[in-house]
C-alpha cells in the first residue's frame, strides 16, 4: 500500500509524457496533412529556450503581467467596494442593479472598439479592458455574498450595540469572503484570456502581440 502511494505522484506525469511522445512521433513521421503546420514538440522546446534566452518571451510576458496586475487590482478593488455598498444598502442596490444588469452581460472584449476610440491605442487600453473584465463579476459576487449573510447574525450584532460599520467589518464581510474569493479566482484566469486577445488586436507588445507576430511569419513553433 505504501509502495502504491509512493508511485502515485509519478503516475500523474505518465499521461503527459505519453501525449508529448505521440505529438513528437506524429510530427516527425508527417502523419498530419501537409497544409497543417505541426512542428515536433522538441522544436517547440528549442524555440521556447531561444525566446527565453534572448529575452523576447520574458519582456513580452512582463508587459502582459503588469497590465493584468494593474487592471485586475483596480477592477477588483472597485468591484468589491461597489458590491459591498450594493449588498449592504438595499436602496442603492435597487438604484444600481438595473444599470449593472444592463452592462454585466457584455463581454469585456465587446468594449474594445469603443475604448479604442475613447482612450486610443496605448498602455491604458489593455488596462481598461482588464478593469472591466474584473469589475462586474467581482461586484456581483461581493454583493451576492453580502446579501446572503444570515440576517440573524446581523440582528444579534445590532442587539449587542455594534454600529453598521463594525457589523460590516466583523460579521458581514468575513461571512461573504467565500463568494468574494470565488469571484477573484475566476476573474484572475479570465483576465489572462482577455489580455491576450486584446494584445492580438490592438497592442504591439505582450504575449498576444508575440503570438500574432509568430502567426504572420507562420511560426507555429
Of residues 218 and 96, the one with the higher pLDDT is 96
Q: What is the mean pLDDT of the chain?
A: 85
Is 46 contained in some domain? no
Is 103 contained in some domain? yes
Taking the C-alpha atoms of residue 185 and residue 213, their distance in angstroms, rounded to an integer, is 30
Both 26 and 72 in one domain: the answer is no
Q: What is residue 8's predicted lDDT score, i.e. its pLDDT? A: 61
Instruction: Tell me what the mean pLDDT of segment 132-160 comes to.
Output: 88
Both 170 and 71 in one domain: the answer is yes
**pLDDT class of 221 with cuts at 50, 70, 90:** low
Both 16 and 121 in one domain: the answer is no
C-beta separation of 68 from 192 below 8 A: yes
Both 197 and 148 in one domain: the answer is yes
Range of the domain at 76: 56-214
DSSP calls for 152-188: HHHHHHHHTT--HHHHIIIIIHHHHHHHHHHHHHHHH
Both 14 and 90 in one domain: the answer is no
CA angle 197, 202, 207 (to 5 degrees): 50
Is 47 contained in some domain? no
Taking the C-alpha atoms of residue 108 and residue 187, their distance in angstroms, rounded to an integer, is 11
Taking the C-alpha atoms of residue 180 and residue 69, their distance in angstroms, rounded to an integer, is 18
* pLDDT tens profile 179-200: 889 888 888 888 888 898 888 8
Is 29 contained in some domain? yes
Both 75 and 182 in one domain: the answer is yes
* pLDDT tens profile 29-61: 877 766 567 788 888 888 888 888 888 888 899
3-state DSSP call for residue 56? Answer: helix
Q: What is residue 47's predicted lDDT score, i.e. its pLDDT? A: 86
Is 219 contained in some domain? no
Is 220 contained in some domain? no
With pLDDT > 70 as the criterion, what percentage of the chain qualifies?
91
Instruction: Tell me what the mean pLDDT of segment 113-131 comes to.
Output: 89
Q: Domains in the chain: how many in total?
A: 2
Tell me the torsion sign for CA atoms 166, 144, 187, 199. Answer: negative
pLDDT for residue 9 is more than 80: no
Q: How far is CA 75 from the centre of its chain?
A: 11
C-beta separation of 208 from 199 below 8 A: yes
Tell me the torsion sign for CA atoms 145, 149, 155, 156. Answer: negative
Q: How many helices (H) and strands (E) does the chain have?
A: 10, 0
pLDDT for residue 76 is more than 90: yes
With pLDDT > 90 as the criterion, what percentage of the chain qualifies?
17
**pLDDT class of 10 with cuts at 50, 70, 90:** low
Instruction: Tell me what the mean pLDDT of segment 71-79 comes to.
Output: 93
pLDDT for residue 78 is more than 90: yes
Contacts of 172 (CB under 8 A, 6+ apart): 87, 88, 146, 149, 154
Both 172 and 100 in one domain: the answer is yes
Q: Name the pTM for this structure.
A: 0.80
Both 60 and 24 in one domain: the answer is no
Both 72 and 173 in one domain: the answer is yes
**pLDDT class of 81 with cuts at 50, 70, 90:** very high
Cα end-to-end distance, the chain, whole Å = 43
Both 85 and 23 in one domain: the answer is no
Both 18 and 90 in one domain: the answer is no
Amino acid at each position: 500500500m505504501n509502495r502504491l502511494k509512493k508511485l502515485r505522484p509519478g503516475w500523474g506525469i505518465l499521461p503527459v509524457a505519453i501525449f508529448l511522445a505521440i505529438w513528437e512521433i506524429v510530427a516527425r513521421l508527417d502523419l498530419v496533412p501537409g497544409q497543417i503546420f505541426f512542428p515536433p514538440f522538441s522544436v517547440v522546446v528549442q524555440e521556447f529556450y531561444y525566446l527565453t534566452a534572448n529575452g523576447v518571451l520574458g519582456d513580452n510576458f512582463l508587459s502582459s503581467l503588469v497590465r493584468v496586475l494593474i487592471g485586475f487590482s483596480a477592477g477588483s478593488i472597485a468591484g468589491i467596494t461597489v458590491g459591498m455598498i450594493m449588498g449592504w444598502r438595499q436602496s442603492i442596490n435597487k438604484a444600481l442593479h438595473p444599470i449593472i444588469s444592463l452592462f454585466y452581460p457584455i463581454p469585456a472584449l465587446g468594449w474594445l472598439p469603443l475604448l479604442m476610440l475613447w482612450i486610443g491605442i496605448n498602455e491604458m487600453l489593455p488596462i481598461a479592458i482588464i478593469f472591466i473584465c474584473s469589475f462586474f463579476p467581482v461586484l456581483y459576487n461581493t454583493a451576492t455574498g453580502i446579501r446572503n449573510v444570515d440576517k440573524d447574525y446581523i440582528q444579534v450584532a445590532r442587539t449587542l450595540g455594534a454600529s453598521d460599520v463594525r457589523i460590516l467589518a466583523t460579521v458581514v464581510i468575513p461571512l461573504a469572503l467565500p463568494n468574494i474569493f470565488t469571484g477573484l479566482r475566476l476573474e484572475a484566469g479570465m483576465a489572462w484570456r482577455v489580455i491576450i486577445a486584446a494584445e492580438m488586436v490592438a497592442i504591439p507588445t505582450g504575449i498576444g502581440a508575440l503570438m500574432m507576430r509568430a502567426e504572420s511569419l507562420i511560426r507555429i513553433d
